[in-house]
Structures are given as structure tokens and as C-alpha cells.
Amino acid sequence: MKYDNFDVNSWGGYAKCYDALNDLKPYQNLQMTVISNLFLSSGNLILDAACGTGNLPCWLKKNKKNFDLTIAGLDFSDEMLELAKEKNQEKYFIFAKHNLNKDIPFADEYFDQIVSVNTLYALSDPARILSEFYRILKRGGRLILVNPKRGYENGLILKEHCSDIGPDEPWLNVHSSKEKEFELLKRAVNDIEVRSKLMAVAKFNCEILKNRKFYFLSLAELSQLVRSQNFFIIRREKVYANQAILIVAQK
Ligand SMILES: C[S@@+](CC[C@H](N)C(=O)[O-])C[C@H]1O[C@@H](n2cnc3c(N)ncnc32)[C@H](O)[C@@H]1O
């Protein structure tokens, strides 16, 4: 039961170590895949639904030097938003506090594109948020959705990070004991400071993984959910060391 209480305060705690993920190659690749699926057309208005610490705009700035668009990031965690604002002070990034379990306070057909990475699972009603995304997206607009797959293994993200081409088995059930977590992190990450931050990340990931109320869906289930809200799926692929599903869909 205690694992069903991963709430706004837990996300606030996670914010303190969350950015250690930026050191992991699979997370970097994930951000780049999301960016490659965005139309960076001049004047576009993009919603980043549950923007966390604002990593998407950071990766965008690093990799696309000239762009003229606005990204609005919503999140319900003050701690996440504080970091997002600190890291992205340019005028074309706007951040605001909002609980995505409630109606999104934007007019119909407001956004050109919507991005939502690794968040759908934590919301109380995935179908409802997708119908909200559909409502606020312009006709022909794109939704880029990423969600961890059912049965995802955090250890396989570490395995890909260190380009281990051996069998998966030693990397499975990374959270089964503190010793195993530490051993695998030591194998994957040399930098002691990064490693200790990733140990803190592991604590939160372990709690997330055990939360029975979270929606980790198969490719077929996530596709069906997206289609049930009238989206047309353009692309589906496994991302994040094959531990998450990316769907690009159109209104
Ligand atoms: C795993 S993080 C992903 C952050 C970011 N999209 C990324 O890829 O780095 C999940 C985010 O969802 C936010 N979140 C969870 N439930 C939420 C809710 N009901 N409303 C708004 N944000 C929520 C958390 O605060 C956290 O920032």
C-alpha cells in the first residue's frame, strides 16, 4: 500500500537528483528522438505536458541553435518548475504550475504540437488527459507521447549507457537489493558524484516501479488508448533502451 502514495511531494524530492539522468546516454538519446519528431517551424507553440526540470528545452537549445517558437511547460511540482525556470530563462520558454489530472486551462485548438514524456503513467486517468490533449491541439497538430512500457527494467537503461553487449540477465531487477543497485551503477558509471546522484534516482525509480496505480502499458495498449481519443498514429517505436514506447500521433 505505501507504494501507492507517490504524490506531488515525492516528485518534489525526485527533483533534487532528477537531472543526473542527463548524464545517461539513453536519456540523451530519448530527448534527441523527441526533438527529431518535432516540427521546429517558426512561430510554433508547443506544450510540454509535465516538463519536469525543463530538460527538453535545454536539449533543444544545445542542438538547434536558431529557432523561433514558444514552449509552454506545465508541471504540478514547484521544485521541478523552479529548476526548469532557472535553466531556461529565455523569453520563448514559459513555465506554469498545473495539475494535469484537472482540465488543462487552454482554449480548444491552441497548440501546434504537444509533447509529453514519461508522465502519462503517473496520471489518474490516461484517457482523459489524451482527450484534453486532443481538444487543445490544432487540427493537423502532432502529439509526441512517451511512456515506460509494462515490465520495463531500469537496469537495461544502465546496460545501454555503458554499451554492454552481453546478456541482459545480470542487469535485470536492479532494485532487488541496495548492493545490486550499487554494483550495477559502479559498472555503468565511473564518475563518483554522478553515481551517487543516480543512487538517489534509483530510490525514486524503485518506488515508481512498485506503484500499482501507475499505468505502464504495452505497445498495443498505448496505441489503442491513443486511437480511442481519435488520434491518428503516424509512428511508434521503442525508445529509452527499449524500455519505453514513443508514439507520434496526429489530430
Ligand atoms: C519522470 S518526470 C518526466 C519529466 C520530463 N517530461 C522529462 O522527460 O524529463 C514526470 C513529471 O511528471 C510530473 N507530474 C506527475 N504527475 C503530475 C500531475 N498530476 N500533474 C502535473 N505534473 C505531474 C512530475 O512532477 C514530474 O516532473
Closest ligand 1 atom, CA of 30?
A: 8
- By most ligand atoms within 8 Å of CB, the mutation choice from 16, 97, 119, 133 for ligand 1 is 119
* pLDDT value, residue 183: 93
Answer yes or no: is 39 within a domain.
yes
Grid cell in block for residue 141:
497538430
Q: How many residues does the chain have?
A: 251
Quick check: CB of 52 below 6 Å from ligand 1?
A: yes
Residue nearest atom 26 in ligand 1 by C-alpha distance: 52
Residues 102, 33 share a domain: yes
User: Which residue range(s) make up the domain with 117?
Assistant: 8-150+214-250
Tens of pLDDT, residues 168-208: 999 999 999 999 999 999 999 999 999 999 999 999 999 99
- Indicate whether residue 77 lines ligand 1 (CB < 6 A): yes
Listing DSSP states for 187-219 in one string gives HH---HHHHHHHHHHHHHHHHHHH-TTS--B-H
Residue 153 contacts residue 205 (beta carbons within 8 Å): no
Instruction: Encode pLDDT of 26-66 as tens digits.
Output: 999 999 999 999 988 889 999 999 999 999 999 998 988 77
Same domain for 145 and 158 = no
Is residue 12 domain-shared with residue 95, that is, in the same domain? yes
Cell numbers representing residue 202 in the block:
534509483
For the Cβ of 34 lying below 6 angstroms from any atom of ligand 1, the answer is no
Average pLDDT, the chain: 94
Residue 186's pLDDT is 92
- Same-domain check for residues 226 and 105: yes
pLDDT tens digits along 83-142 = 999 999 999 999 999 999 999 999 999 999 999 999 999 999 999 999 999 999 999 999
> What DSSP string runs through 155-181?
HHHHHHHTT--S-SGGGTTGGG-HHHH
pTM of the model: 0.96
- Residue 225 CB-half CA count within 13 A: 22
- Using CA atoms, how far residue 90 sits from 48, 68, 70, 112, 117, in Å, is 16, 11, 10, 20, 22
Confidence class of residue 1 from pLDDT cuts 50, 70 and 90?
Answer: very low
Amino acid identity of residue 135, one-letter, is R
Q: For residue 164, count other CB atoms closer than 10 A to its CB.
A: 15
Instruction: Give the span between the Cα atoms of 186 and 166, in whole angstroms.
Output: 17
- Binning pLDDT at 50, 70 and 90, where does residue 3 land? low
Q: How many domains does the chain have?
A: 2
96 and 158, same structural domain? Answer: no
- Give the integer Cα–Cα distance in Å for 172 and 158: 10
230 and 127 in one domain? yes
Q: Are residues 69 and 180 in the same domain?
A: no
Q: Is the pLDDT of residue 156 over 90?
A: yes
